[in-house]
Homo-oligomer: A and B are copies of this chain.
Amino acid sequence: MAVQLMTVSAVQAIADDIRSKILRGEYPADTAFTETDVAARYEVARPTAKAAIEKLVAESMLERRTNKTAKVITLGSDDVRDIYLTRARLEKAVLLELAESRSVPPAAVAAQQDLERIDSGSGLDTVEPDMRFHMALVDSIGSPRTSRMYESLVSQVRLCMAQVQGLELVQPERIVREHQHLLDLIGAGDGAAASAFLDEHLSRPRERLVAAVGGVPGPEAELGSSLDT
């Protein structure tokens, strides 16, 4: 009867809170997260804060080098392209499989209807149903690993959008139209066309984000040379 409302784990709760705040844009890129600071803010011991930070590092929300303080990850234009290209690879494969069986996922249709409903709203309200639409497509094929990977990519897209402030250029009616086109192509069994159209559909926001993050090629491409992992 209890609906598992308590996260039963302090580090999980802290990590969830920090992650949601990062995705909401409350912590801009390069914000430092010291262990003692996190421990003090959430009133927990330092090992607990440390575990939460490392959890976020593991899922690429924060980055840290040994003996250095963790910071909110900075996504450069290279990262944005990589995220969108990887995302497209997964989703195109999904579209091909869905078109094969001509199965239009009901959850995606529902997300699409939500998107139509708030069509007149401002740009930022549309990204949630937009993401849900794509996520529903991927989830519908019932592959836990594919879903988990895609979810991680979507999360990074949201992180990137949160870091870029002046980004209101989304055109809801165009998104709705293109989504509908995708669903139609799936229903028609034309996987190749759906796959190709997805590239088009994703290219616009991708380049928009690339432009928004500025000319930064990568987070650490400009300090003498490679001091990489």
Of all chain B residues, the one with the shortest Cβ separation from A229 is: B4
How many A residues touch the partner, as a band?
A: 20 to 34
Chain B residues contacting A92 (CB-CB under 8 Å) are 93
Q: A89 contacts the other chain (Cβ, under 8 Å)?
A: yes
Chain B residue, CB-CB nearest to A85: B143
Q: Which residues of B contact A9 (CB under 8 A)?
A: 66
Known: A9-B66, A55-B58, A66-B8. A89 touches B83 (CB 8 A): no
A145 with B93: CB separation less than 8 A? no
B-chain residues with CB within 8 Å of residue A51 when the two chains form the complex = 51, 54
Give Cα A66–Cα B54 distance, bound, in whole angstroms.
18
- Docked Cα-Cα span, A74 to B177, in Å, equals 44
Q: Tell me which residues from 66 to 82 in chain A have a Cβ below 8 Å from any Cβ of chain B.
A: 66, 82
- Chain A residues numbered 144-185 whose CB sits less than 8 Å from any CB in chain B: 144-146, 149, 153
A90 at the interface (CB under 8 A from B): yes
Whether the pair A149, B66 counts as a contact (CB closer than 8 A) is no
Whether A18 is near chain B, meaning CB under 8 Å from some CB there, is no
Given contacts A51-B54, A54-B51, contact A86 B8 (CB under 8 A): no
Contact with B along A46-73 (1 / 0, CB 8 A): 0100010011001000000010000000
Residue with the greatest number of chain B CB neighbours at <10 A, chosen from A55, A85, A94, A145: A145
Alpha-carbon separation in the docked complex, A8 to B157 (Å): 33
Interface core residue of A58, A66, A89 (most chain B CB under 10 Å): A89
User: Given A8-B66, A58-B55 in contact, is the A86-B47 Cβ separation under 8 Å?
Assistant: no
Question: Which residues of chain A have a CB within 8 Å of any CB of chain B?
Answer: 8-9, 47, 51, 54-55, 58, 66, 82-83, 85-86, 88-90, 92-94, 143-146, 149, 153
Q: List 10 extra interface pairs beyond A58-B58, A82-B143, A90-B93, CB under 8 A.
A: A47-B47, A51-B51, A82-B145, A83-B145, A86-B143, A86-B146, A89-B90, A89-B93, A92-B93, A145-B153
